[in-house]
Amino acid sequence: MTFDVVNSNFRTGEKTNRATFLTLFLGDSEKLLSPMNETFPDLGLKQFDCTEMSWVESVLFWTNFPAGTPVNILLSRVPQVLTHLKRKSDYLKNPIPKQGLEFIFKRIIELKSVMLTFNPYGGIMAEIPPSEKPFPHRAGNLAKHQYAIN
């Protein structure tokens, strides 16, 4: 989930926060819709909200290539775009209380060009024993949160 600042649709000239939910699900969207709508009914996820692609096509998606870009572009050693930004990551050990989230949302609007991204460490990842897939940041962390500014 990523939070960033956008123009308000309700108050001209004001800014607001936007929450964007992006996920990578290994399987078809039919298998995703039911558990998502049971767990997060307020999102109202529909079939047209989902884009199905192969795993290698998802590499293109996450690196902002346009839909339909041939996967062999990944063989090119020349960067398509140079992005300059600064990022810092921390780990979340306890849930953020409502007052904390309200402060964060207000501060993001004040700073204007900041993005805050949360990467959850629960779900299937929590079921994989550390002996099977070493990942040193797993123990005791609910999520990674990343601050970005450009």
DSSP letters along the chain, please?
-EEEEEE-SSSTT-EEEEEE-----SS-HHHHHHHHHHH-GGG---GGG-----HHHHHHHHTTPPTT--GGGGG--S-S-----EEEEEEE-SPPPHHHHHHHHHHHHHHSSEEEEEEE--THHHHS-TTTS--TT-TT-SEEEEEEE-
Per-residue tens of pLDDT for the chain, all 150 residues? 888 888 888 888 888 888 888 888 878 888 989 999 999 899 899 999 998 888 899 889 888 888 889 999 999 888 777 777 788 999 998 999 999 999 998 998 888 888 889 888 877 777 777 788 777 777 778 889 898 887
> If one looks up domain 2-23+83-149 in CATH, what number appears?
3.40.462.20
